[in-house]
């Protein structure tokens, strides 16, 4: 640390460092430059006589590590349109949507975002815009474009590859362009003409992606709504499974304990994207129901969304029981459909509903998520030497995850966000 690095001390009623240690009451975090220099009781971190330090008193509140969202689509507006409509937007409009979305997430305490797929160079442009200081946003890890089969989910992003050779070429192309990780669509999804319950690639094809990516030092993530795609992703050595929806080809979710056991043995991370299955609709219709009667069509939609969410939560609980508690990470899938940015807290609420304790839920959104994206050494907990990414929340998140919906201040790399 250079002598000229700016020094800041943030005081809080509670400091929750994300390691599982008990909260520090009347605590403080000392920041030097972009990094955390010390964490402890306020009295122990007070400035030395004559030391020039900016002191920020946030004493009614709690300091936690900045939140991490492992799954977004920054170029999509999350305004309820289908993919076919959103894909009519120009790349330029997608970049503008991305600028808006980055700010919404950052203000909600999300200091690191892993983007899982944009069209053309939209994801890379956003990352470079942040690095150049043109745009304020969280740290951004971008895959660039997701790899998909001919006619597959997100084919309009323009990284179509069939067969192991083409997939290897796609991985090399993406890494050359600057991909931080590799995303591959292992099953169909919400894109018209694809079938969510069916796999898109063979084990051999998925293995080509994971092997090439790992050779080039990149982690991999697979979109897996089909049960069979989950099995193949594990066999192929992919690092993180998105959605994990256990869908059969007939479109029905049926949990399979053998697959959960396979995932646990392989040590794969899981981002179940719990809010991505109609949760905003559920919240909207429940709020409306509190004021007026729902129409029969609305009541029916609400009932169907709630039933589906219950199945997801039941599967989530069973995956926890299968030994995946420390492998679950928060991913919002923001941008798609009605999933507006700024609401990683929906995932957090659902993780807690699904059976994680408040502390485990916080870890899923911080320490475990940092490990899952390969940044456990620099992010995810409040510890000396780590990046000074902090969220300041109203309440004690080790007792009530609702505190994570009440973000009152954010620091990224030691800088307070306006």
> Smallest distance, Å, CB 237 to Zn ion?
21
| C-alpha 50 chain-centroid distance | 42
> Smallest distance, Å, CB 398 to Zn ion?
30
Q: Is there a contact between 370 and 112 (Cβ–Cβ < 8 Å)? A: yes
> Smallest distance, Å, CB 73 to Zn ion?
6
Interface stretch with Zn ion, choices 29-37, 85-93, 303-311, 329-337 (CB under 5 A): 329-337
Q: Does residue 333 bind Zn ion (CB under 5 A)?
A: yes
Give the SS3 label for residue 411: strand
CA dihedral 87, 153, 121, 213 (to 10 degrees): 170
Binding-site string for Zn ion from residue 114 to residue 133, where x marks contact by CB under 5 A and - marks none:
--x-----------------
What number of H helices and E strands is found in the chain? 12, 14
Interface stretch with Zn ion, choices 132-140, 159-167, 291-299, 326-334 (CB under 5 A): 326-334
Q: Does residue 347 bind Zn ion (CB under 5 A)?
A: no
Q: Whose Cβ is closer to Zn ion: residue 116's or residue 398's?
A: 116
Q: Does residue 239 bind Zn ion (CB under 5 A)?
A: no
CA separation for the pair 414, 6 (Å, rounded) = 9
Q: Whose Cβ is closer to Zn ion: residue 14's or residue 344's?
A: 344
> Smallest distance, Å, CB 242 to Zn ion?
6
Judged by CB under 5 A, the number of residues near Zn ion is 2
CA separation for the pair 142, 117 (Å, rounded) = 7
DSSP code string of 339-397: --SS-HHHHHHHHHHTT--HHHHHHHTTHHHHHHTT-TTTSSS--TTSB--EEEESS-T
Q: Whose Cβ is closer to Zn ion: residue 180's or residue 333's?
A: 333
> Smallest distance, Å, CB 249 to Zn ion?
21
Minimal CB distance residue for Zn ion: 333
Q: Whose Cβ is closer to Zn ion: residue 168's or residue 223's?
A: 223
In this structure, the strands spanning 139-142 and 110-115 are: parallel
Q: Is there a contact between 24 and 39 (Cβ–Cβ < 8 Å)? A: yes
Chain positions contacting Zn ion, by CB under 5 A: 116, 333
């Amino acid at each position: 640390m250079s002598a000229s690095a700016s020094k800041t001390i943030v005081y809080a009623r509670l400091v929750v460092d994300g390691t599982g240690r008990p909260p520090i009451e009347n605590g403080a975090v000392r920041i030097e430059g972009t990094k955390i220099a010390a964490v402890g009781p306020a009295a122990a971190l007070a400035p030395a006589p004559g030391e020039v330090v900016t002191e920020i008193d946030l004493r009614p509140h709690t300091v936690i590590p900045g939140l991490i969202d492992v799954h977004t689509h920054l170029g999509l507006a999350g305004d309820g349109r289908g993919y076919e409509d959103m894909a009519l937007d120009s790349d330029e409009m997608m970049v503008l949507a991305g600028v808006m979305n980055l700010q919404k997430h950052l203000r909600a305490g999300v200091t690191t975002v892993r983007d899982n797929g944009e069209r053309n160079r939209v994801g890379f442009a956003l990352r470079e815009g942040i690095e150049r200081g043109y745009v304020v946003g969280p740290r951004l890890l971008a895959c660039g474009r997701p790899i998909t089969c001919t006619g597959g989910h997100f084919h309009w992003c323009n990284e179509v590859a069939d067969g192991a050779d083409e997939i290897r070429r796609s991985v090399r192309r993406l890494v050359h362009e600057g991909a931080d990780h590799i995303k591959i669509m292992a099953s169909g999804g919400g894109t018209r003409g694809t079938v969510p319950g069916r796999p898109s690639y063979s084990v051999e094809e998925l293995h080509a992606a994971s092997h090439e990516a790992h050779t080039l030092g990149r982690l991999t993530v697979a979109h897996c709504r089909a049960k069979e795609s989950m099995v193949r992703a594990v066999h192929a050595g992919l690092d993180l499974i998105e959605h994990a929806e256990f869908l059969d080809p007939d479109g029905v979710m049926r949990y399979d304990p053998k697959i959960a056991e396979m995932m646990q043995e392989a040590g794969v991370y899981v981002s179940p994207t719990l809010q991505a299955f109609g949760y905003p609709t559920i919240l909207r219709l429940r709020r409306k129901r509190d004021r007026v009667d729902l129409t029969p069509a609305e009541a029916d939609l609400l009932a169907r969304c709630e039933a589906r969410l219950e199945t997801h939560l039941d599967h989530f609980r069973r995956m926890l029981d299968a030994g995946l508690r420390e492998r679950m990470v928060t991913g919002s899938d923001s941008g798609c459909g009605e999933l507006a940015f700024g609401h990683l807290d929906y995932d957090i609420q659902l993780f807690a509903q699904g059976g994680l304790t408040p502390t485990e839920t916080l870890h899923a959104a911080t320490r475990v998520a940092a490990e899952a994206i390969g940044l456990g050494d620099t992010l995810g907990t409040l510890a000396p030497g780590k990046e000074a990414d902090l969220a300041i929340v109203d309440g004690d998140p080790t007792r009530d995850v609702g505190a994570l919906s009440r973000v009152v201040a954010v620091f990224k790399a030691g800088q307070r966000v306006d």
